[in-house]
């Protein structure tokens, strides 16, 4: 099967969606599907990636588009951000389809901006369209909600991360039969607990609270410094890239119990998860059009046996369990109490830690990739 995969976000940009798409492409290629990726040159990072990458079953084209960190600066202006991310990539995909439409069996769009591109292209070139969403949305009355509704109604299949997101789309007026639920996955052979992690990283006899993620305001990473002030017996470690990186690195140098690591390649993260004691996801609970999906870092951490403390941001609460950690409010006191509960109660900590790997194997294995593949094959079975 020949698939046109559209996403504004792709490697070498850093983030859960980008890593998921890399995994998805590897899976589809392993099944000998031909995948054509159309994306932007990575934004918000120094290495924007090669314009062309080509393998036997995978062809990636990264379209140049001005950066200037606009992807972060326009976060508070959803209409402008939509226009910024839509315009260039739609043009690129339109030209691609003029030349190659006969090769394409199905268009797979990732995120609502790519979804609109896919739906318009699907109508112009008579192609089936599958939409993969990666976040939870709050639908209020307004122009953008009507645009999203039109886009979803004119797609052929929609994949969402949780039952809560599915319910919100049904309430919006999207037919339930059009919506399937999928989850991210990680390679459980890579993401597993490593021995002597603390010794290898020089963290022996230290209680490590780990943050891994994009270094932007909405991820709540600045709360780590407030926590470090009141939890002086613990060490807080920050891993990630983003516009706040320089500021966080400078600030951490004035704290004895905060370590700024910066970027770590994905394949090296299992060592850090294995050496840590808690993964902290302090994402902000704010009124915006979208919320956190299912953070990939949570899946990676659980696979390595690491308990999680997270705010109730976005779709996290839909798949979270008190068997793997603690959900907290978006305030320092709630986070402090949760961290201290793990720190002071060794038996409780051990019980939760033992549950994590098992939970990840049951919920976030490669079997989740089959759901995406079946959503693509469904069209071939129905229409060909």
Write out pLDDT tens, residues 252-269.
Answer: 999 999 999 999 998 999
The per-residue pLDDT for 384 is 47
The per-residue pLDDT for 65 is 95
The per-residue pLDDT for 135 is 80
Q: Are 308 and 279 in contact (CB under 8 A)?
A: yes
Write out pLDDT tens, residues 192-228.
Answer: 999 999 999 999 999 999 999 999 998 999 999 999 9
Residue 68 carries which DSSP code?
T
Q: Are 38 and 73 in contact (CB under 8 A)?
A: no
How many whole angstroms separate alpha carbon 92 and alpha carbon 114? 12
How many whole angstroms separate alpha carbon 46 and alpha carbon 44? 7
The closest alpha carbon to 303, from 162, 134, 181, 190, belongs to: 190
Question: E strands along the chain, which residues?
Answer: 2-6, 34-40, 52-54, 58-63, 106-110, 128-132, 136-137, 157-160, 179-181, 207-212, 234-239, 258-262, 278-281, 290-291, 308-311, 325-328
The closest alpha carbon to 26, from 240, 212, 264, 186, belongs to: 186
CA distances in angstroms from 132 to 43, 247, 255, 276, 369, listed in the order given: 21, 34, 41, 32, 12
Q: Are 43 and 12 in contact (CB under 8 A)?
A: no
Q: Are 110 and 7 in contact (CB under 8 A)?
A: yes
Contacts of 189 (CB under 8 A, 6+ apart): none
**Within the chain, how many helices (H) and strands (E) appear?**
15, 16
How many whole angstroms separate alpha carbon 146 and alpha carbon 142? 7
CA distances in angstroms from 72 to 43, 65, 69, 75, 84, listed in the order given: 9, 15, 6, 5, 11
The closest alpha carbon to 9, from 91, 125, 97, 132, belongs to: 132
Q: Which domains does the chain have, with CATH numbers?
A: 2-184+366-383 (3.40.50.2000), 197-363 (3.40.50.2000)
CA geometry: angle 381, 116, 89, nearest 5 deg? 105
Q: 52: burial class by Cβ within 10 Å (0-12, 13-18, 19+)?
A: exposed
Give the global pTM.
0.88
How many whole angstroms separate alpha carbon 280 and alpha carbon 204? 20
The per-residue pLDDT for 291 is 59
One digit per residue, the tens of pLDDT, for the chain of length 384 reads 899 999 999 999 878 899 999 999 999 999 999 999 999 999 877 889 999 999 999 999 999 999 988 887 887 788 898 899 999 999 999 999 999 999 999 999 999 999 999 999 999 999 999 999 988 666 777 777 888 899 999 999 999 988 888 988 999 999 999 999 998 999 999 999 999 999 999 999 999 999 999 999 989 999 999 999 999 999 999 999 988 999 999 999 999 999 999 999 989 999 999 999 999 999 987 655 555 678 999 999 999 999 999 998 877 888 899 999 999 999 999 999 999 999 999 999 999 999 999 999 999 988 889 888 888 776 555 444
The closest alpha carbon to 109, from 73, 145, 133, 139, belongs to: 133
Strand partners, 58: 35
């Amino acid at each position: 099967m020949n698939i046109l995969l559209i996403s504004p976000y792709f490697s070498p940009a850093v983030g859960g969606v980008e890593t998921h798409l890399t995994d998805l492409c590897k899976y589809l290629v392993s099944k000998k599907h031909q995948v054509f990726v159309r994306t932007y040159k990575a934004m918000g990072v120094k290495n924007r990636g090669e314009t062309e990458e080509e393998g036997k079953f995978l062809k990636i084209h990264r379209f140049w588009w001005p950066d200037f960190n606009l992807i972060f600066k326009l976060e508070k202006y959803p209409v402008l951000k939509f226009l910024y991310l839509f315009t260039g990539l739609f043009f690129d995909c339109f030209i691609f389809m003029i030349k190659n439409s006969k090769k394409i069996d199905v268009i797979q769009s990732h995120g609502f901006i790519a979804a609109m591109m896919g739906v318009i292209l699907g109508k112009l070139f008579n192609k089936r369209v599958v939409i993969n969403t990666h976040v939870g949305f709050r639908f209020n009355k307004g122009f953008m909600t009507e645009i999203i509704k039109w886009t979803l109604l004119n797609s052929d299949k929609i994949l969402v991360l949780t039952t809560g997101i599915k319910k919100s789309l049904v309430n919006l007026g999207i037919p339930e039969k059009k919506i399937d639920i999928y989850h991210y996955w990680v390679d459980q052979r890579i993401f597993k607990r490593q021995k002597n992690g603390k010794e290898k990283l020089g963290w022996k006899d230290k209680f490590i609270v780990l943050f891994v993620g994009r270094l932007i305001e909405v991820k709540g990473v600045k709360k780590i410094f407030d926590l470090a002030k009141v939890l002086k017996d613990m060490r807080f470690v920050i891993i990630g890239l983003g516009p706040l990186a320089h500021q966080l690195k400078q600030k951490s140098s004035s704290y004895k119990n905060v370590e700024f690591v910066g970027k770590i390649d994905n394949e090296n993260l299992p060592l850090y998860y294995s050496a840590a004691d808690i993964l902290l996801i302090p994402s902000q609970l704010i009124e915006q059009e979208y919320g956190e999906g299912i953070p990939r870092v949570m899946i990676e951490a659980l696979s390595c046996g690491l308990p999680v403390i997270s705010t109730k941001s976005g779709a996290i609460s839909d798949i979270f369990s008190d068997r793997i950690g603690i959900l907290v409010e978006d305030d320092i006191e709630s986070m402090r109490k949760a961290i201290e509960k793990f720190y002071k109660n060794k038996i409780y900590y051990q019980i939760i830690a033992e549950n994590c790997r098992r939970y990840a194997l049951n919920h976030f294995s490669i079997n989740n990739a089959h759901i995406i593949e079946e959503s693509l094959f469904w069209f071939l079975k129905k229409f060909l």
